[in-house]
């Protein structure tokens, strides 16, 4: 049974009544209380015929009153600061003061009130303290605090205006709690907040006003929750926001939820269950530089997917179920430098799908069922991962390439130049497990900058002259028996034994 303050009966001032009406609640405990202490402390006894008068007495003791006991037959009211477990058993007339007080409460029943908190420094660190609850206005007097760390506690709900009054706060860490509810206005009154960390909690829903009126917020961490739904305007008008982390949640789709984010440049929605990316999800996000949407369930990238993110420089869409990419998809990303599409089924994409990505420097296409592709237009490509595909022939004009991985492709015989430009800058080459029976090592000697070579797990017969006349070769990964043979022959080359 719950009792709220009743204005007509309690003879307390209107101003005080208005405040406590919003923030006070008493619950009769039919079982043991949510919190009990090591001993029972009675702070006041009073004779009255009315339970509401007993409630009034409790309120007059401010935060000292934690419970009251009302015995109607004896006209008896007792006010308690704490109650031990054995004292509570067998009684059904004890009321627990519910959690909405301006204080920070610990699991053992102790608490810090406003005055105690206000005496703390510019940095308040309450991490790993078994905090169970923060009441509204608890930090109202902490108007000089800049950093508040409440991580690794037992918070389950954040009440409205819990941090009200912290006008200089710039960093708030609430990570690694059990928070499942955020009341509206919970972050009200934080005009300088720049970093808000809510990762590793139990949030399922983000309301439209949750982050309202945080004009300086730059980084928002919401990863490793259970978020299934985000209201349309949850991130609206966060004009200074730069990074939003939504990794490892339960989002099924990516809807248009980003509005008027003029500084927004980083989004991580990896490790969700996203099947659909709405065509307008990225509309007007022309400052966005990096998007990670890996480990989802996307099956197609159409011409309008990611429309609006025209200045994107990094895109990660690996570990999805992509089978189709529109031939015009990449045309809208002329600034793209990093692209990862690994672990998708791209066997049916057009070989020249990447034409137009002239600024691309890193391309990762590991395990994509690729048979062939044309990369000759990627004049600035430096790093290329093509391991675990079905490529039988690879020869490209990639002058800028410095790092090439072709592991586990059925190359069979290498009698042609992998890089057919004369000024190749290739410094690392891995052709591990490519079923190679023959390599023309003169072709590899043409790579004047080659330092590291991986050729283990093939069917090669190597003679003692194999590694002669390489210009800069300093490291070779080969099978165990070959490594033992070549180490004394080439003391300037480090031969690494393959252990796979």
pLDDT tens digits, 426-479: 999 999 999 999 999 999 999 999 999 999 999 999 999 999 999 999 999 999
Question: Is residue 484 assigned to a domain?
Answer: no
- Residue 341: CB atoms within 10 A of its CB come to 25
The DSSP symbol for 498 reads P
Domain that holds residue 77: 2-98
Provide the mean pLDDT of the chain.
88
CA–CA gap between residue 465 and residue 330 (Å, rounded): 46
Residue 416, H or E segment: none
Residue 56, H or E segment: helix 51-60
- Residue 82: CB atoms within 10 A of its CB come to 20
CA–CA gap between residue 424 and residue 351 (Å, rounded): 23
Please report, for the domain that includes residue 51, its CATH number.
3.50.4
Question: Is residue 8 assigned to a domain?
Answer: yes
Q: Are 404 and 411 in contact (CB under 8 A)?
A: no
Lowest model confidence (mean pLDDT) among 23-27, 114-118, 122-126, 339-343:
23-27
Question: Is residue 34 assigned to a domain?
Answer: yes
pTM for the structure as a whole: 0.81
Q: Is 485 helix (H, G, I), strand (E, B) or coil?
A: helix
Q: Where do we find the tokens 């080969």?
A: 478
Q: How many domains, the chain?
A: 1
Lowest model confidence (mean pLDDT) among 76-80, 251-255, 401-405, 442-446:
76-80
For residue 202, how far is the Cα from the chain centroid?
Answer: 13
Where does 1-50 have alpha helices with state H? 14-23
Question: Is residue 78 assigned to a domain?
Answer: yes
CA–CA gap between residue 35 and residue 52 (Å, rounded): 23
More confident site: 354 or 63:
354
Q: 33: closest CA among 70, 5, 66?
A: 66
- Residue 123: CB atoms within 10 A of its CB come to 11
Question: Is residue 16 assigned to a domain?
Answer: yes
Residue range 134-192, pLDDT digits in tens: 887 889 889 999 999 999 999 999 988 889 899 999 999 999 999 999 988 889 889 99
The structure tokens listed for 489 are 């022959």
The structure tokens listed for 121 are 């420094």
Question: Is residue 84 assigned to a domain?
Answer: yes
CA–CA gap between residue 377 and residue 144 (Å, rounded): 57
CA–CA gap between residue 457 and residue 483 (Å, rounded): 13
Q: Is 21 helix (H, G, I), strand (E, B) or coil?
A: helix
Q: What is the pLDDT of residue 119?
A: 81
Q: Are 381 and 406 in contact (CB under 8 A)?
A: no
Question: Is residue 149 assigned to a domain?
Answer: no
Q: Does the pLDDT value for residue 249 go beyond 90?
A: yes
Question: Is residue 381 assigned to a domain?
Answer: no
State mean pLDDT over 385-391: 97
Q: Are 386 and 411 in contact (CB under 8 A)?
A: no
More confident site: 18 or 318:
318
Residue range 31-66, pLDDT digits in tens: 555 545 667 778 888 898 888 888 888 877 666 677
């Amino acid at each position: 049974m719950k009792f709220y303050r009743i204005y007509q009966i309690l003879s307390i001032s209107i101003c005080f009544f208005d405040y406590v009406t919003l923030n006070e609640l008493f619950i009769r405990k039919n079982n043991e209380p949510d919190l009990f202490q090591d001993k029972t402390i009675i702070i006041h006894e009073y004779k009255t015929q009315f339970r509401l008068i007993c409630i009034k007495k409790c309120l007059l003791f401010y935060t000292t009153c934690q419970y009251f006991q009302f015995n109607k037959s004896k006209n008896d009211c007792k006010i308690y600061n704490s109650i031990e477990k054995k004292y509570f058993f067998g009684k059904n007339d004890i009321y627990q003061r519910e959690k909405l007080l301006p204080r920070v409460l610990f699991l053992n029943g102790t608490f810090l009130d406003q005055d105690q908190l206000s005496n703390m420094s510019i940095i308040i660190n309450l991490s790993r303290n078994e905090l169970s609850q923060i009441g509204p206005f608890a930090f109202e007097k902490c108007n000089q605090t800049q950093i508040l760390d409440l991580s690794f506690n037992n918070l389950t709900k954040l009440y409205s205006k819990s941090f009200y009054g912290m006008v200089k706060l710039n960093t708030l860490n609430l990570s690694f709690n059990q928070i499942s509810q955020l009341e509206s206005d919970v972050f009200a009154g934080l005009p300088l907040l720049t970093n808000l960390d809510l990762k590793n909690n139990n949030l399922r829903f983000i309301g439209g006003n949750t982050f309202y009126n945080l004009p300086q917020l730059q980084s928002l961490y919401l990863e490793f929750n259970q978020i299934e739904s985000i209201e349309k305007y949850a991130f609206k008008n966060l004009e200074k926001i730069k990074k939003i982390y939504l990794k490892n949640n339960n989002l099924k789709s990516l809807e248009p939820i980003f509005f008027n984010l003029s500084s927004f440049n980083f989004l991580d929605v990896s490790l969700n269950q996203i099947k659909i990316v709405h065509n307008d999800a990225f509309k007007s996000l022309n400052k966005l530089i990096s998007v990670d949407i890996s480990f989802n369930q996307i099956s197609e990238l159409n011409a309008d997917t990611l429309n609006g993110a025209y200045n994107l420089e990094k895109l990660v869409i690996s570990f999805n179920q992509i089978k189709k990419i529109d031939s015009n998809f990449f045309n809208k990303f002329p600034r793209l430098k990093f692209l990862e599409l690994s672990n998708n089924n791209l066997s049916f994409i057009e070989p020249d799908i990447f034409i137009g990505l002239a600024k691309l420097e890193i391309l990762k296409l590991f395990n994509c069922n690729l048979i062939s592709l044309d990369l000759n237009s990627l004049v600035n490509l430096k790093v290329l991962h093509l391991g675990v595909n079905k490529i039988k022939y690879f020869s490209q004009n990639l002058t800028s390439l410095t790092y090439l991985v072709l592991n586990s492709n059925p190359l069979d015989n290498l009698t042609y130049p992998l890089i057919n430009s004369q000024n190749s800058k290739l410094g690392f080459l891995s052709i591990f497990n490519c079923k190679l029976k023959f390599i023309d090592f003169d072709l590899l000697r043409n790579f004047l900058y080659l330092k590291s070579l991986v050729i283990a797990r093939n069917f090669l017969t190597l003679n003692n002259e194999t590694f002669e006349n390489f210009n800069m070769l300093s490291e070779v990964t080969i099978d165990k028996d070959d490594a033992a043979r070549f180490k004394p022959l080439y003391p300037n080359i480090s031969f690494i034994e393959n252990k796979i």
